[in-house]
Amino acid sequence: MPRRLLFFLLFSFIKVYAAFEVQALNPSFIARGGIISIHSGSLNPAATLENQGIKFRVDYSNLFGIKGLRCCDFSIGWGSESKRGASFHVNSLGSQIYQENTYGIGYCQSIRNVIALGVIVKYYDLEIAGYDSTGAIGLTFGSKFYLNDFLRMSLLFQNVNAPKICNKSDALPDSFTFGIQWIPDSRVEIDVEIFKDTIFPFSTRVGAKVAVFQGLFGLLGVQLNPDRYSGGISFVWNGFQFDAAILHHVVLPYTFYFGCSYNI
């Protein structure tokens, strides 16, 4: 049944677009409503500086429990005291029949500790069994504003060059995201995002992170339009972090996400 469902999703429409979703696979973001622009390790290159040193991260999910929709993500982020940072990112989604691969390299810099600016260049590669592979290059720009110790804002513009794949016949997702990060207490964080791409209507995402015990955090979130609910946990200890999340879908089965990172 899962294999039949995969074929239905891929080939049942007259015209099929490559997915290449503008979504972070990190469970700690998925659990908070799918936020993508606020934290270090998200899709916003400007937030890389929030992590000092070198951070290695791996995330995995089997979307909707379908074997042909396994998704893996590997990233390296580096932030320095000189207020410069860089990142490298690899993502793979699919199977031997249909596979999307994304490779990205980014750079960011802080200006007077008030604003951070970043850019990331991504190469999108699409491989379908029996056909030649095809690809496209996308440019993403991000910024983050540190208003005070409690309030921060972020802006993210993905694929601003409107890249197209499959002999320039299929446009890849290009989107805008505005985020607000509120930290009223050292044990509580509230995140709010407004997301809009060129095809779908505005979507609102709200997430919360609450300290349960030292090193253990509970995560909750909701995404509106489409409506999705999520939750998870994060465990942090001596530079090591483990995250797990579950995402609700109104039609398809639940999806589980797992990830871990190590900071040097």
| Per-residue confidence (pLDDT) for residue 15, from 0 to 100 | 42
Cα(186)–Cα(193) distance, integer angstroms: 21
- 3-class SS string, 9-46: HHHCCCCCCCCCCCCCCCHHHHCCCCCCCCCCCCCCHH
**Greater model confidence, 167 or 205:** 205
pLDDT at 2 > cutoff 80: no
Q: CA dist 213 to 39, 52, 78, 210, 218, Å?
A: 21, 24, 28, 9, 9
What tokens does 264 get?
A: 């040097």
- Give pTM, 2 decimals: 0.88
Q: Provide the pLDDT for residue 21.
A: 65
pLDDT digits (tens, 9 = 90+) for 8-37: 444 443 344 455 666 889 999 999 999 999
Q: Average pLDDT, stretch 208-212? A: 97
Average pLDDT of the residues in 217-240: 95
What is the DSSP annotation of 196-226? Answer: EESSS--EEEEEEEEEEETTEEEEEEEEETT
Q: What confidence category does residue 81 fall into, taking pLDDT thresholds of 50, 70 and 90?
A: confident
pLDDT at 218 over 50: yes
Q: Residue 19: its pLDDT value, please?
A: 54
Q: Given this model, what pLDDT does residue 20 score?
A: 62
What is the pLDDT, as a whole number, of residue 67?
80
CA gap 49, 112 in Å, rounded: 13
Please answer whether residues 223 and 33 qualify as being in contact, where contact means their C-beta atoms are separated by less than 8 angstroms: yes
**Most confident stretch, 11-25, 78-92, 161-175:** 78-92
Give the start-to-end residue ranges of the domains of the chain.
2-263
Nearest to 175 by CA among 14, 7, 24: 24
- How much is the pLDDT for 6? 44
Mean pLDDT of 120-125: 96
Instruction: From 209, 208, 199, 248, select the one nearest 227 (Cα to Cα).
Output: 248
Q: Shortest CA distance to 100 belongs to which of 65, 73, 76?
A: 73
Helix (H) or strand (E) holding 152: strand 151-158
Query: What is the Cβ-side half-sphere exposure of residue 232, based on CA atoms within 13 angstroms?
Result: 29
Percent of the chain with pLDDT over 90: 67
Query: What distance in Å separates the CA atoms of residue 181 and residue 178, rounded to the nearest whole number?
Result: 10
Instruction: Compute the average pLDDT of residues 65-86.
Output: 90
pLDDT value of position 13: 39
- Mapped onto helix, strand or coil, the DSSP state of residue 159 is coil
* Structure token digits, residue 166: 């499959």
pLDDT score at 10: 44
Q: What is the CATH number of domain 2-263?
A: 2.40.160.40
Mean per-residue pLDDT over the chain, rounded = 89
Q: Which DSSP string do the residues of 61-110 spell out, in sequence order?
A: EEGGG-GGGEEEEEEEEEE-TTSEEEEEEEEEEE-SSEEEEEEEEEEEEE
Q: Which three-class secondary structure state does DSSP give residue 47?
A: helix
pLDDT score for 54: 94
Mean pLDDT of 231-250: 95
Q: What is the mean pLDDT of residues 85-105?
A: 93
Q: Which residue has the higher pLDDT, 138 or 7?
A: 138
Highest mean pLDDT among 103-107, 196-200, 251-255: 103-107
Q: For CA atoms 180, 184, 186, 188, give the dihedral sign.
A: negative
Instruction: Band the pLDDT of 233: cuts 50, 70, 90.
Output: very high
